[in-house]
Amino acid sequence: METTVEAIGPAPAGAVWERYMDPTRWSSWAPQIDGVEYSEQRLTSDTTGRVRGPMWTHVDFEIVAVDEAEWTWTWNAWFQFRALSLVLTHGVASRTDGCRTWVTIRGSRALIVPYAPVAKLALMRLVRS
């Protein structure tokens, strides 16, 4: 299954892109994230890390691609010791009134359906000024 979730807000596109690129900032706009274990200061292709969630949950991930010129990036996220996974492609586009951001989520319907509303909330927080 594949679905795209988006949000439009007043934050400048460049600022939103930087919020994506710095994993230490993810928990400031994504309420499902308590912290991120990642060795780089900025997202870089072919690197791995771990997102810490509520109640000791964690998601391992690999950054697959980062396109600074197009403001897009893709990562694989694995749950339950890689038994379940999602592929997420994020993007940012400038608008005269702020920006638009989106995530295209590919994977099992059983993961996408409950995750899509959470992703929507996070994106709405991401694009706030």
Residue 33 near residue 53, CB atoms below 8 Å: yes
* Residue numbers in the chain where pLDDT is lower than 50: none
pLDDT score of 79: 81
Torsion of CA 6, 12, 18, 21, to 10 degrees: 10
pLDDT score of 52: 96
Write the DSSP assignment of 35-56 as a string of letters.
EEEESSSS--TTEEEEEE-GGG
pLDDT score of 55: 82
pLDDT score of 109: 95
pTM of the shown model: 0.94
pLDDT score of 126: 98
